[in-house]
Amino acid sequence: MDQQRETSTFGMWLFLLTEIMFFGGLFCAYLVYRATYYQAFVEGSQAMNIWLGATNTAVLICSSLTMALGVRCAQTDNRKLMVVLLIATMLFGLAFLGIKAIEYHEHWTNHQFPGPNFSFPQAEAAGVNPQNVQIYFSLYWAMTGLHALHMVIGVGLVLWITIAAARGMYSADYYAPVENVGLYWHFVDLVWIYLFPLLYLISKKHGG
Amino acid sequence: MATAVQTAERQTYLNNGYSLKSWLLTKDHKRIAILYLISITGMFFVGGFFAMLIRLELLTPAGDLVSSDTYNKLFSMHGIAMVFFFLIPSVPAVLGNFVIPLMVGAKDLAFPRINLLSWYLYMFGALFALVSMISGGVDTGWTFYTPFSTTYSNTHVVGTALGVFIAGFSSIFTGLNFIVTIHRMRAPGLTWTRLPLFCWSNYAASIIMVLGTPVIAITILLVALERLLHIGVFNPALGGDPLLFQHLFWFYSHPAVYIMILPGMGVISEVVTCFSRKRVFGYEFVALASIAIAVLGFLVWAHHMFVAGISVYAALVFSLLSYLVAIPSAVKVFNWTATLFKGSIRYDTPMLYAFGFIGLFTIGGLTGVFLASLGVDVHVTDTYFVVAHFHYVMVGGMVLAYLAGLHFWWPKMTGKLYPEGWAKLSALLVFVGFNLTFFPQFILGYMGMPRRYHAYPPEFQVLNVLSTAGASVLAVGYVLPMIYFMWSLRYGEDAGPNPWNAVGLEWMTPSPPPTHNFDETPVVTWEAYDYEHPPQEVLVGH
Amino acid sequence: MVLTGVTVFASFIELHNWNIVVALTIATIKGTLVVLFFMHLFYSSKLTKVTVITAIFFLFLLLALSMTDYLTRSWLTNPMH
């Protein structure tokens, strides 16, 4: 069983490797455009709510903690606590998505979604081409959107193993799915740990 | 399918359930390989159909068969069907899926259900692409360059792109499966240095699949997002850089060509040793060369962009790196040739294809080195010289290797022998037809005929006619195997477990193998390709 | 664990200058901790560690080699943008 668990974990790590490269393409685009249009990125990021973003970062780190502890419970056959921790993880995940939804709503109503309805009046005042700011927002929506999609999938996966755990399907001998979902969850957290400073914390020269 | 044996019918993977459900819900890697065989053959003929129309159009200098818009669609769909839906899956998904678990002495791949999922993803992707093709096609070229694909094209870009996106995940999961299988499921005694080179090559290709495919996946997703939601990172009107698309696209698509060729090279390693009855010369070098190709292949992508507008300093770097990647390929060619020296050579069909491969891949590879040179590239880029180059490596190389592998392992997969005479004739037709089709294109390109144009100056006509004639011969060479392979299923002679007297675990189980591959887990005590002292123990199931 | 997360995260709020290097460094430290301890990489087999290092290396390749183009375009005499 141990060999099987190691094998399936190896498979999950390989899958996460593909996810690194998947998000990596977006990070590459981000790198290129930030280098080219730095001022536009500064302006665009002013529209981000740092407090919401920071809260979300904390939420995700906490969810990673509960997830890791949950895996530990699976390893030590502590079923009740494991289910509690997994439910906590899910709640944190949903909280993240809720906060994100609030942010998205605000950006949307402020016409900060790229396309024909895009408008960013602050751009002219700062002497920056608003079209370039649109690129910042394109990357913002694409990167956080993809991340949010992975979060939704993650919540679904945690729900699945919570139900299975409640039914007593995991034990100290067989907990590979819990561990692997945990790996996935931590990875999604990791992506956000990078997204937050890159999108939200570019510069606050103009004082918030 | 099952042969009439004196006693009770032996259980094989083929007669283990005849219902459609037992095939469509199978977890057996061998059945999945057959499913792939049928699907990619279908896509091959789709791509071939478009090729036929292209060559027909190019019989005359004027653009008289189809309009230029239609012609754009033809070469785009030819490329997409052939690259994404035939070449990339071909050897790994068909031959690799079937043979690798047998070669490592395992019952199946590491994740059989993911293997089945891979096939369904492939079918799903192919369906998307086919529907897009039938409802009007796409005209961006298989390369989907922006801003044409994102902003200006009026064709079914999103549908086709999504098809490719989905099929990409099929590729990723296959690669993932192979890596885990080769690492963790080898039989006792099968150390890395005893592993057949086919496994090494597929391992290297799988690394590329896993690392590179996600990048094109995100790139295609961005193209789709830009078309659908105007999230425009490639749109120059917003300050976006179309070249960024090309960087991201080629970051995968160059290593992709190594995904295509490495498994083919693996087949050639197997065939050359078997039909010279000798160990591969320099086994370690060939194995390491596979890994080197995989790694170096990731460092050269911008050689597709030399004239696109990248900085000349970057071009210098990529040109130098591109020269380097030729070295491990050359090492392999030298080693195969050295294997032939003092070998006891048999000219069975797989070996004929292997000979063809070595010669044609060398020509294709060398012309690649010409293209790596910045000066030459400026002259011949976007001409038929490039078209000829990649067809030499992809068709003269890869397709010949695929055919070699199919012929080599057909007896194992089906338990039947194909008719040798017809097979040799087909090999000859393929070789002659191929060269007649594509050699003139080198000349055409050098003389300046541009690619992706449906009309050309009249002085190029003779060579184009030769090329189309060659294509017709090539087509016959492709259709014949379809016929005689099907014929062999019913009328072919029974192959035994080891019709070629080859050394390798896959030959030590009956043909066709039982569902669980080996009755007992084999223990490997011999070196790879030990034709001097072939293992006497034949673990044949009962 | 929680302390680490919270403390490091708190330092973000004070980050009011354009120093992306600091931001990314902190992110990398946090990330490394997540990977090593939450994801048990510290306790995993060598194979897994090699896999992760490979992933990071290839991502680095993508970013670095692409930048050879973008960073050197302005070296040419005619300005591209």
What are the beta bridge partners of residue B383? B450
Q: Which residue of B has its CA nearest to C70?
A: B311
3-class state of residue A144 by DSSP: helix
Q: What are phi and psi of C44, to 5 degrees?
A: -85, 175
CA–CA distance, A180 with A172 (Å, rounded to integer)? 15
Q: Which of C58, C61, C68 sits opposite B314 (nearest CB)?
A: C68
Please answer yes or no on whether B211 and C54 come within 8 Å at the CB atom.
yes
CA–CA distance, C25 with C4 (Å, rounded to integer)? 15
Q: How far is B172 from chain A (nearest CA, A)?
A: 8
Give residue-wise pLDDT tens across range A80-101.
899 999 999 999 999 999 999 9
Q: Is B30 domain-assigned?
A: yes
Confidence tier at C11 by pLDDT (50, 70, 90): low
Q: Is B345 domain-assigned?
A: yes
Give residue-wise pLDDT tens across range A30-71.
888 888 888 888 888 888 888 888 888 888 888 988 998 888
Burial C14-47, CB ≥16 within 10 A → b, else e = ebeeeebeebeebbeebbebbbebbbbbeebeee
Q: Which residues of C touch A (CB under 8 A)?
A: 1-2, 5-6, 9, 12-13, 15-18, 20, 23-24, 26-27, 30-31, 34-35, 37-40, 44-45, 47-48, 51-52, 54-56, 58-59, 62-63, 66-67, 70-71, 81
Q: What are phi and psi of A117, to 5 degrees?
A: -95, 10
B195 touching chain C per CB within 8 A: no
Cα first-last separation, chain A: 55
Assigned token pair, B170: 């099929």
CA–CA distance, A198 with B354 (Å, rounded to integer)? 52
Confidence tier at A208 by pLDDT (50, 70, 90): very low
Largest Cα separation within chain A, whole Å, is 64
pLDDT score recorded for residue C3: 53
Full DSSP string of B36-78: HHHHHHHHHHHHHHHHHHHHHHTTSSS--SS-HHHHHHHHHHH
Please answer yes or no on whether C68 and B243 come within 8 Å at the CB atom.
no
Closest alpha carbon to B441 in B379, B370, B368, B392: B392
Q: Which of A7, A17, A18 sits opposite B110 (nearest CB)?
A: A7
pLDDT score recorded for residue B3: 46
Alpha helices in B341-460 (DSSP H): 349-372, 374-380, 384-391, 400-414, 420-447
Assigned token pair, B16: 């283990």
**A-chain residues within 8 Å CB-CB of C12?**
54, 57, 196-197, 201
Q: Which of B114, B184, B222 sits opposite A10 (nearest CB)?
A: B184
3-class state of residue A1 by DSSP: coil
CA–CA distance, B133 with B150 (Å, rounded to integer)? 18
Q: Which residue of C has its CA nearest to A46?
A: C16
3-class state of residue B416 by DSSP: strand
Cα dihedral B99, B102, B107, B112, rounded to 10, equals: -20
Chain A: touching chains (3 or more CB pairs < 8 Å): B, C
3-class state of residue B493 by DSSP: strand
Q: Which residue of C has its CA nearest to A71?
A: C38
Q: Which residue of A has its CA nearest to C15?
A: A201
User: Count of CB contacts below 8 A, A vs C?
Assistant: 117
The DSSP element (H or E) to which B417 belongs, if any, is: strand B416-417
Assigned token pair, B529: 């390709």
**A-chain residues within 8 Å CB-CB of B238?**
114, 131-132, 134-135, 138
Rg of the Cα trace of chain C? 18
Q: How far is C74 from chain B (nearest CA, A)?
A: 8
Alpha helices in A37-113 (DSSP H): 38-46, 50-75, 79-109
Chain C: touching chains (3 or more CB pairs < 8 Å): A, B
Please answer yes or no on whether B311 and C58 come within 8 Å at the CB atom.
no
The amino acid that residue B259 corresponds to is I
Q: How far is A46 from chain B (nearest CA, A)?
A: 19
CA–CA distance, B474 with B395 (Å, rounded to integer)? 11
User: Count of CB contacts below 8 A, B vs C?
Assistant: 39
pLDDT score recorded for residue B61: 92
CA atoms within 13 A on the CB side of A83: 12
B211 touching chain C per CB within 8 A: yes
CA–CA distance, B52 with B14 (Å, rounded to integer)? 35
Burial B124-146, CB ≥16 within 10 A → b, else e = bbbebbbebbeeebbbbbbbbbb
Other beta carbons within 10 angstroms of residue B344's beta carbon come to 9
C78 touching chain B per CB within 8 A: no
Give residue-wise pLDDT tens across range A132-142.
888 888 899 99
Q: Which of C47, C61, C69 sits opposite B310 (nearest CB)?
A: C69
Mutation target to probe the A interface, by most A beta carbons within 10 A, among C39, C43, C51 is: C39
Rg of the Cα trace of chain B? 23
The DSSP element (H or E) to which B265 belongs, if any, is: helix B242-276
The amino acid that residue B31 corresponds to is R
CA–CA distance, B197 with B287 (Å, rounded to integer)? 6
Q: How far is A8 from chain C (nearest CA, A)?
A: 12
The predicted model scores a pTM of: 0.91
Q: Indicate if ipTM > 0.85.
A: yes
How far, CA to CA in Å, does B286 sit from each of B197, B283, B293, B327, B332?
Answer: 8, 5, 10, 12, 6
The amino acid that residue C60 corresponds to is F
pLDDT score recorded for residue C14: 55
Assigned token pair, B345: 């050579």
Cα first-last separation, chain B: 18
Higher pLDDT, C23 or C49: C49
**A-chain residues within 8 Å CB-CB of B221?**
146
Assigned token pair, A178: 């819990």
CA–CA distance, A75 with A85 (Å, rounded to integer)? 14
The DSSP element (H or E) to which B335 belongs, if any, is: helix B312-340
Confidence tier at C8 by pLDDT (50, 70, 90): low
CA atoms within 13 A on the CB side of B485: 19
Q: In CATH, what number is assigned to the domain containing residue B93?
A: 1.20.210.10
Q: Which of A9, A50, A189 sits opposite C34 (nearest CB)?
A: A189
Please answer yes or no on whether A31 and C51 come within 8 Å at the CB atom.
no
A28 touching chain C per CB within 8 A: yes
Number of domains composing chain B:
1
Q: Which of B211, B299, B313 sits opposite C72 (nearest CB)?
A: B313
Q: Which of residues 79-138 of B touch A (CB under 8 A)?
A: 110-111, 114
Cα dihedral C73, C74, C75, C79, rounded to 10, equals: 110
CA–CA distance, A163 with A151 (Å, rounded to integer)? 18
CA–CA distance, B473 with B475 (Å, rounded to integer)? 5
B214 touching chain A per CB within 8 A: yes
CA–CA distance, B218 with A28 (Å, rounded to integer)? 11
pLDDT score recorded for residue B363: 95
**In this model, does residue A18 exceed pLDDT 60?**
yes
The amino acid that residue A199 corresponds to is L
In eight-state DSSP terms, residue A2 is: H
pLDDT score recorded for residue C61: 84
Full DSSP string of A151-197: HHHHHHHHHHHHHHHHTT---SS--HHHHHHHHHHHHHHHHHHHHHH
Q: Which residue of B has its CA nearest to A28?
A: B248
Q: Is B379 domain-assigned?
A: yes
pLDDT score recorded for residue C46: 81
Higher pLDDT, A131 or C41: A131
β-pairing, B493-494 with B416-417? Answer: antiparallel
Q: Is B1 domain-assigned?
A: no
Regions in chain B scoring below 50 on pLDDT: 1-7, 538-542
CA–CA distance, B226 with A3 (Å, rounded to integer)? 45
CA–CA distance, A56 with B400 (Å, rounded to integer)? 55
CA–CA distance, A178 with A160 (Å, rounded to integer)? 10
Return the ∠ at Cα A154 (arms to A150 and A156), rounded to 5°: 120
Instruction: Go through the domains of chain A in sequence order and give each one's CATH number.
Output: 2-200 (1.20.120.80)
CA–CA distance, A137 with A132 (Å, rounded to integer)? 9
Assigned token pair, B294: 């995989």
Q: Which of residues 20-59 of C touch B (CB under 8 A)?
A: 47, 54-55, 58
Would you say B102 and B505 are in contact if contact means Cβ atoms under 8 Å apart? Answer: yes
Q: How far is A4 from chain B (nearest CA, A)?
A: 9
pLDDT score recorded for residue A204: 57
pLDDT score recorded for residue B19: 87
Please answer yes or no on whether A7 and B180 come within 8 Å at the CB atom.
yes
Cα first-last separation, chain C: 47
Q: How far is A11 from chain B (nearest CA, A)?
A: 6
Please answer yes or no on whether C38 and A65 come within 8 Å at the CB atom.
yes
Closest alpha carbon to A144 in A43, A53, A12, A65: A53
Please answer yes or no on whether B311 and C61 come within 8 Å at the CB atom.
no
Name all contacts of B5-13 with Cβ < 8 Å and 24+ positions apart: B10/B510, B10/B514, B10/B541, B11/B514, B11/B515, B12/B415, B12/B510, B12/B512, B12/B513, B12/B514, B12/B515, B13/B512, B13/B513, B13/B514, B13/B515
Q: How far is C76 from chain B (nearest CA, A)?
A: 7
CA–CA distance, B144 with B150 (Å, rounded to integer)? 8
Q: Is B105 domain-assigned?
A: yes
Q: Which of C34, C45, C62 sits opposite A186 (nearest CB)?
A: C34
A168: left (phi over 0), alpha (psi -120 to 50) or beta: left
Mutation target to probe the A interface, by most A beta carbons within 10 A, among B165, B177, B233 is: B233
Q: Which residue of B has its CA nearest to C47?
A: B183
Burial B78-117, CB ≥16 within 10 A → b, else e = bbbbbbbbbbbbbbbbbbbbbbbbbbbbbebbbbbebbbb
| Torsional sign, CA B370, B359, B209, B157 | positive
CA–CA distance, A177 with A183 (Å, rounded to integer)? 10
Q: Is B343 domain-assigned?
A: yes
Q: What is the mean pLDDT of chain A?
A: 87
Q: Is B2 domain-assigned?
A: no
Please answer yes or no on whether A17 and B211 come within 8 Å at the CB atom.
yes
Q: Is B425 domain-assigned?
A: yes
Assigned token pair, B397: 């190389």
CA–CA distance, B360 with B139 (Å, rounded to integer)? 30
What are the beta bridge partners of residue B416? B494
Please answer yes or no on whether C66 and A32 come within 8 Å at the CB atom.
yes
3-class state of residue B494 by DSSP: strand
CA–CA distance, B103 with B82 (Å, rounded to integer)? 28
B247 touching chain A per CB within 8 A: yes
Domain extent for B115: 20-539
Q: Which residue of C has its CA nearest to A24?
A: C59
Mutation target to probe the A interface, by most A beta carbons within 10 A, among C38, C53, C81 is: C38
